[in-house]
Structures are given as structure tokens and as C-alpha cells.
Chain A
Amino acid sequence: MLIIGEKLSIIAKRVREAMMKKDKGPIQEIATRQWKEGSGIIDANIGPAEDGGEELMQWMVTSIQEVVPLPVCLDTTNFKAIEAGLKVHNNQWGKPLVNSTSNDPERFPILELGAKYDCNVIGLTVGKGGLPADAEERAAIAAEIMGRAMEYGLSLDNLYLDPLVLQIATSQDHARHVIDAIKMFREMNDPPMKTVVGLSNISNGCPKTLRPILNKYFYIMLAEAGLTSAIADAHEMAEAEQEKALVTEVLAGRQIADAAKMAEISKTIDVIMGRTLYAHSYLEM
């Protein structure tokens, strides 16, 4: 599993302030930590970055790659900022990843960039009109994006299909649709298509104590379904790898010795699979 370290995001206050002040210290510290925790790519989420996006992305890419021998995921809706980032990216550490294209014609130029710079591109399975309702719609959109990629000269090997993880607190049914979509995406090509998720969005809006639990078990379930990469907290995912054996046991319908852990895992699986209705206190019931 390839972990794309999620921590360098403009949503985080400390990162945002460092970006504004162009203070490399915190950026490099966080990038280094994520590398040591097992990230294989470092996400650089600069938001929409309408003003100064190009310069900011170049600064992010070079700051990160000064200290970490990894490729960067260029995460912004600003097309020019992505291209600027690609120009300075050091491909010695691997191909950059671009987040993202979709089935919205406005996002097709990203595929062109992907072909031009021979980089990896995330294809988010949404179209122009609203969110996909289920796994089948996600797969149908994925097929369109794959066709479009070939048309623009981007190898399918460079395309990472993203089924769009939604918040379990408000869109519970989508959790299992995402798992099913990962299975479907894999079958859409031989060799199987690469897949990616923005993992932590599953627990967005949930109480703080619940977030790592949902993130980790959802990750394990997605891994079982064949997920190949995740934009996630590398530290949390390392923990998930440790708990994988236990969760796999429960998923297979077997009991584990630790009763409290058994309850935590099985209740969380039930919520993810839509067998019990989500509420913030579901673990207490």
C-alpha cells in the first residue's frame, strides 16, 4: 500500500501559516516526519490558491524535496500551479502525482498535463452533475475517465481511480459503495487499475476520539478490497497495519480474545457496512 502523507494541507493552521510566511521549517519538519512514518509520497495541498498559486506550489515542492527523497502529490484546483509544480519537481525520487482530474470537462486539461510531463494523475469519479449515487455510477464514471485518459495520451498505468470517500456521519451508505467501487475499479483493466482514496474524509465531522478508529478500520477494509494507495495519516496507517490481523479475524466472522477490541471492531464494521445506523455514540451502544 502506498501512503500519500496528508499532513501538508492548507486546512491545518500551522501549515497554512507556514505557507503564508514561506517558512520552510514546519513544512520540512512535517514532510520528514511523514516520510519516516512510512509515506511514499508527500501531499502538498495548497487549496484553490488563486493568487500566487504557481509560486507557492513551486516553493512547496522544492521545500519538501530538499529534505525528503520522495515524489510530491500536487493537490490544488489551480491548473497553472500544478504545471508550475511539475516543472520544478525532482523526478529522481519518482513520478509526481496530480490531484486531480474527473469527468468534468473543465478538469480534462489535467490529463493533458499528465501526458506531457509523464506523471501520475488521480481520476476522481465525479462528473459535472452531482455526486455518484453508488458503486455502479462510480464505475461508469471511471470508465469514462479511462477512455478520456487514453484519448489524451495518458497511460492507464499512470491513472489512479478515486471513488470519492464521503463523511460517514452524513452519507453513511457511501462507505460501503466506496468499498464496492474499489473492487470494481480493479476489474476494469488488466493489470488491475490503481486506486486511491482520501481516507480521512470518512471520519470528518465525527468526534475526535472516533476518528482514528473509523480511519483505521475503513482503511483495512479498503485494503482487503484491493485498494493500492491512500491519502492518509501515515502514523495512523502504521497502527492500522498492526491491527490488521485482528480486524481480518472479525471480518471473517471469528471472535478475538480481547472483548473490548472485538466490540470496537465489530461495531465499526457494522457502521461502515451500513448494518447499523451511524450516531456519534455508536460505540457506546
Chain B
Amino acid sequence: MAYTAPKETYPGKVYSVTIGTGDRAATLGGENVLPFHSFEGETPNRPLVAFEIQDVPPADWPENIRKVFAGVSDDPVTWAKYCQNELKAKAIALRLVGTHPDRENRSAEDAAKTVRDVLAAINVPLIILGSNHAEKDSVILVAVAEAAKDKNCIIGKAQEANYKTIAAAAMANNHKLVAMSELDINLSKQLNILITQMGFEKERVITDPMCSALGYGLEYTYSVMERIRLAALTQNDQTMQQPLLADVGMYVWKVKETQASESDLPQWGSAEERGILWEAETATALMIAGAELLIMRHPKAAAAVESVIEELV
């Protein structure tokens, strides 16, 4: 008798979320199986890698990642165009880190202008992130949501402390929303419930259970993502069926393994290669756990992840 491979099927399905407009719009999620289990069900969309840029020059990034964008990163518009046109980015994530009160403390007007300028220069989907200062973000993200009205961006991150204003702004201006909680599956579910109780459609939310880098708690993020995905599929939990975000670059390029120089730690080998590998490994692990949207920095790490996706689909 011929061997028939057993198939797992699930009652639940991840929502399909489309971002951006026109030809270059992209769709995330939509699968009714575990990540890359295309042999068991539908996996209509590949994970999407978005290139991270900033509103201010990346002076705080380590040299090995900063140098990749030398000459373009002084200006977010040039930087965005470089990612789209030269690096063939399928999406761009603009982090408005310069709005943080402890950084340049840029105003909402400045942030809105940057967003308008970047949007005018690119046609791939844009993810607009605040500086992770709960109070300031609730001002900045309202302004940029308006500036990007109807461009179908992802706005974030909404957290327990500020989700009401940010979700309202994303809703009024037809955007998707990142809902972030801090490595706790029950709080992640709770935040999704609170956001949808405001009238925000659950199919327009992207869940960020909070990223962590390899060696710095990756297993926690992995486990929370995996459990979220299992709740979505096996329990058909409608509050947990949103695509998952892994905000990889920001967490990876601040750990010792991506920062330490070869002169300090010669036994660790090439610092540049090490950084690329660290980002690629972290992103790949989280993609296997269930992340559909990955925000990354190094083009070679992104390329490595793309080749893993190519192998697995």
C-alpha cells in the first residue's frame, strides 16, 4: 500500500492583511496551517521583509550596519528610495526615533512632513513606527496617520498605555495597526480585545508580541509567537489570528555580538559577518515561529532570509 503522509488540519486561519496601494501593495498572512506547512493547507502569502529606515541619521547604529547606508541615510527620502530601488525592498519601515523626547525631540509637524515626503518618493508599502515613547507616540502617530491618510500604511506601535488615541487615528485614516505587548501572550490577547472593542476591525491589526535577539531572550519571543499561532489555528481564537510582527533589526543591532569589534574579540571572527548572521538567524527563527512581517536592517541578512523563504515555500 502506498504511504500517505498524515496531514494536520486546523479550524482557524490567520487573517489576510493587505498593506500599501496600487501594484506594489503586499498581503500578509492568510494561512490555515503552521508556518511553511504548505503541504497541509493554504499558505497564500510569503513572509514580508521590510527594510528599516529612520527619520534621523542612524548615529546610534553600529558601524557595520551604518556603513551600508553611508551617503543615503542622512535623509529619509534618499534612504527610502535607495532601499526600494537599489535593494529591491518590498516594504519600508520608517522609525520616527527622532521624535523621542530624549533624542532630537522632533515635533509632530516634522514627523508628518517626513512621512509625506517618504510616501511621495516610494510606491512600496510603508510601515510607520513611533519612538516607543508611549506619551509622545500618541501625539506623533496621530499626526502621521493623518499625513498618510488612505495610503493603507501600518501605524504603530499601540500599547496598553496609548492604544486608544493611536487606534482611533489609524481607524480614521484607513491604516492598519501594530498592537504591541511585552512578551506576555495573555496581555497580547487582552490588548487585541481592547482595540477591537473600540470598533477597530480585528482583521486590520498586526500583533507584535515584542521581539528579542538571539541570545537575549529569543526563546521567549519564539514561544509566545508559537503559542499565539497555535491559539489561532487549533483553538480558532479570533483575537489571536492577526499576522505577527518581528521587529528584528532594532533588537539585534544593539547586542554585544553585533557591536563588539574584532580587535576586542578576535576569537569571534569577522564583526560584519557576525552581525549579518545574528540578524538573519534571529529573523529566521521568528519566521519559523510564525512571524509574517519582519523589520530588518542589513540587506545581506534580509537576502539570507529571502533565500530561506524561497527554499521553504
Give chain A's interface residues, CB within 8 Å of chain B: 169-170, 172, 275-281, 284-285
Q: Are A275 and B186 in contact (CB under 8 A)?
A: no
State how many angstroms separate the Cβ of A207 from the closest Cβ of chain B.
10
| Beta-carbon contact of A279 and B190 below 8 Å | yes
Q: How far is the CB of A269 from chain B (nearest CB, A)?
A: 14
Known: A281-B194, A281-B197, A284-B197. A275 touches B235 (CB 8 A): yes
Chain B: interface residue total (CB-CB under 8 A): 16
Interface string of B230-242 (1 = CB under 8 A from A): 0100010111100
Q: Quick check: is B260 within 8 A (CB to CB) of the other chain?
A: no
Task: State which of A169, A170, A279 has its C-beta within 8 Å of the C-beta of B239.
Answer: A279
Q: Are A277 and B193 in contact (CB under 8 A)?
A: no
Q: In the docked arrangement, what's the CA distance between A276 and B239, Å?
A: 11
Residues of B within 8 A of A276 (CB): 231, 235, 237
Q: Is A281 within 8 A of B240, CB to CB?
A: no
- Cα–Cα distance between A169 and B185 once the two chains are bound (Å): 10
CB <8 Å contact, B237 and A277: yes
Q: Does B197 contact A277, Cβ atoms closer than 8 Å?
A: no
Whether B184 is near chain A, meaning CB under 8 Å from some CB there, is yes
Residue of A nearest to B231 (CB): A277
B295-311 CB contact bits vs A (8 Å, 1 = yes)? 00000000000000000
B189 to chain A, nearest CB (A): 4
Cβ contacts under 8 Å, A169 to chain B = 186
Closest chain B residue to A278 by CB distance? B186
Rounded to whole angstroms, the CA-CA distance of A34 and B231 in the bound complex is 41
Partner of B193, one of A172, A275, A285: A285
Q: Per DSSP, are chain B's interface residues mostly helix, strand or loop, or mixed?
A: helix
Q: Is the CB of A277 within 8 A of B194?
A: no
Known contacts A277-B239, A284-B197; can you find 14 more A-B pairs with CB under 8 A?
A: A170-B184, A170-B186, A172-B186, A276-B231, A277-B231, A277-B235, A277-B237, A279-B189, A279-B239, A280-B186, A281-B193, A281-B194, A285-B193, A285-B239
Nearest CB of B to A234, in Å: 29
Contact A281 B184 (CB under 8 A): no
Closest to B184 in A: A170
Q: Which of A170, A275, A277 sits near B189, CB closer than 8 Å?
A: A277
Kindly list chain B residues whose C-beta atoms are within 8 Å of the C-beta of A281: 190, 193-194, 197
Bound: A13/B250 CA distance, A: 44
Q: Among B186, B194, B237, which residue has the most Cβ atoms of chain A within 10 A?
A: B186
Q: Which of A170, A172, A276, A279 has the most CB of B within 10 A?
A: A279
Residues of A within 8 A of B238 (CB): 285
Determine the distance from Cα of A278 to Cα of B235 in the docked complex, in whole angstroms: 12
Interface-centre pick from A275, A280, A284 (highest chain B CB count, 10 A):
A280
A49 and B238 alpha carbons, distance in the complex (Å): 48
- Once the chains are docked, how many angstroms separate the CA of A281 from the CA of B238? 14
**Separation of A280 and B186 alpha carbons in the complex (Å):** 8
Check A280–B190 contact: CB distance below 8 A.
yes
Top 8 nearest A-B pairs (CB, nearest first) are A279-B189, A279-B190, A281-B193, A277-B231, A280-B190, A278-B186, A277-B189, A279-B186
